[in-house]
Amino acid sequence: MLNYEILQKDVNGFQLIELTSGKYSGIIYSYGKVEFEEMENQLKLKFDYHIHDDYGISVVQEEFKQEIGNILVDLIEQNLAKNSIVYSGGIDENRTKDS
Protein backbone atom coordinates (compact mmCIF):
# COMPACT_ATOMS: atom_id res chain seq x y z
CA MET A 1 0.00 0.00 0.00
CA LEU A 2 1.27 3.44 -0.92
CA ASN A 3 1.15 5.81 2.02
CA TYR A 4 1.86 9.40 1.18
CA GLU A 5 0.39 12.83 1.67
CA ILE A 6 0.42 15.72 -0.76
CA LEU A 7 1.32 18.79 1.26
CA GLN A 8 -0.41 22.14 0.87
CA LYS A 9 2.73 24.14 0.23
CA ASP A 10 4.96 23.92 -2.79
CA VAL A 11 8.52 24.93 -3.60
CA ASN A 12 9.28 26.73 -6.86
CA GLY A 13 6.11 25.40 -8.45
CA PHE A 14 6.70 21.79 -7.39
CA GLN A 15 4.24 20.02 -5.12
CA LEU A 16 5.76 18.56 -1.96
CA ILE A 17 4.95 14.98 -0.97
CA GLU A 18 5.53 13.38 2.41
CA LEU A 19 5.89 9.64 2.89
CA THR A 20 3.66 8.61 5.79
CA SER A 21 4.70 5.03 6.55
CA GLY A 22 7.45 2.51 6.06
CA LYS A 23 11.21 2.81 6.09
CA TYR A 24 11.17 6.33 4.62
CA SER A 25 8.27 7.72 6.63
CA GLY A 26 8.63 11.47 7.16
CA ILE A 27 10.77 12.20 4.12
CA ILE A 28 9.49 15.15 2.10
CA TYR A 29 10.32 15.30 -1.59
CA SER A 30 9.12 16.62 -4.95
CA TYR A 31 9.29 15.37 -8.51
CA GLY A 32 11.14 17.18 -11.25
CA LYS A 33 11.15 16.27 -14.93
CA VAL A 34 9.02 13.21 -15.74
CA GLU A 35 9.23 11.41 -19.06
CA PHE A 36 8.42 8.11 -20.69
CA GLU A 37 11.08 6.26 -22.67
CA GLU A 38 10.16 3.47 -25.08
CA MET A 39 12.48 0.48 -24.84
CA GLU A 40 11.79 -2.75 -26.75
CA ASN A 41 8.00 -2.28 -26.90
CA GLN A 42 7.82 -1.20 -23.25
CA LEU A 43 7.54 2.20 -21.65
CA LYS A 44 9.97 3.09 -18.92
CA LEU A 45 9.13 5.90 -16.54
CA LYS A 46 12.06 8.24 -15.96
CA PHE A 47 11.93 11.05 -13.44
CA ASP A 48 14.00 13.40 -11.37
CA TYR A 49 13.27 14.10 -7.74
CA HIS A 50 14.56 16.27 -4.96
CA ILE A 51 14.51 15.40 -1.27
CA HIS A 52 13.64 18.54 0.69
CA ASP A 53 13.87 17.03 4.16
CA ASP A 54 15.12 13.55 5.05
CA TYR A 55 15.02 13.97 8.85
CA GLY A 56 18.32 12.11 9.03
CA ILE A 57 16.89 8.97 7.44
CA SER A 58 19.47 7.11 5.38
CA VAL A 59 18.18 6.60 1.83
CA VAL A 60 19.10 3.64 -0.38
CA GLN A 61 18.82 5.38 -3.77
CA GLU A 62 17.43 2.55 -5.94
CA GLU A 63 15.02 1.36 -3.24
CA PHE A 64 13.79 4.89 -2.54
CA LYS A 65 13.41 5.67 -6.24
CA GLN A 66 11.36 2.49 -6.73
CA GLU A 67 9.03 3.49 -3.89
CA ILE A 68 8.47 7.04 -5.09
CA GLY A 69 8.20 5.74 -8.67
CA ASN A 70 5.23 3.64 -7.56
CA ILE A 71 3.71 6.75 -6.01
CA LEU A 72 4.27 8.70 -9.22
CA VAL A 73 2.45 6.01 -11.22
CA ASP A 74 -0.40 6.19 -8.70
CA LEU A 75 -0.59 9.98 -9.03
CA ILE A 76 -0.56 9.78 -12.84
CA GLU A 77 -3.35 7.17 -12.84
CA GLN A 78 -5.47 9.22 -10.40
CA ASN A 79 -5.09 12.39 -12.45
CA LEU A 80 -5.77 10.61 -15.75
CA ALA A 81 -8.99 9.21 -14.27
CA LYS A 82 -10.04 12.75 -13.26
CA ASN A 83 -8.86 14.16 -16.61
CA SER A 84 -6.77 16.68 -14.67
CA ILE A 85 -3.23 15.89 -15.77
CA VAL A 86 -1.22 18.59 -17.50
CA TYR A 87 1.47 17.94 -20.10
CA SER A 88 3.96 20.60 -21.06
CA GLY A 89 7.29 21.00 -22.74
CA GLY A 90 6.98 18.62 -25.67
CA ILE A 91 5.86 18.51 -29.23
CA ASP A 92 3.26 16.46 -31.02
CA GLU A 93 5.01 14.82 -33.96
CA ASN A 94 1.68 14.23 -35.74
CA ARG A 95 0.53 17.82 -35.49
CA THR A 96 0.80 19.67 -38.77
CA LYS A 97 -1.17 22.86 -38.09
CA ASP A 98 -1.46 25.27 -35.21
CA SER A 99 -4.91 25.14 -33.65
Distance, first Cα to last Cα, the chain:
42
Reference 7, options 34, 17, 50; nearest CA is 17
23 or 90, greater pLDDT? 23
- pLDDT > 90 in the chain, percent: 54
Q: Convert the pLDDT of each residue in 34-73 to its tens digit.
A: 998 888 888 889 999 999 999 999 999 999 999 999 999 9
pLDDT the model gives residue 8: 79
Confidence of residue 2 (pLDDT cuts 50, 70, 90): confident
Determine the average pLDDT of the residues in 8-36: 89
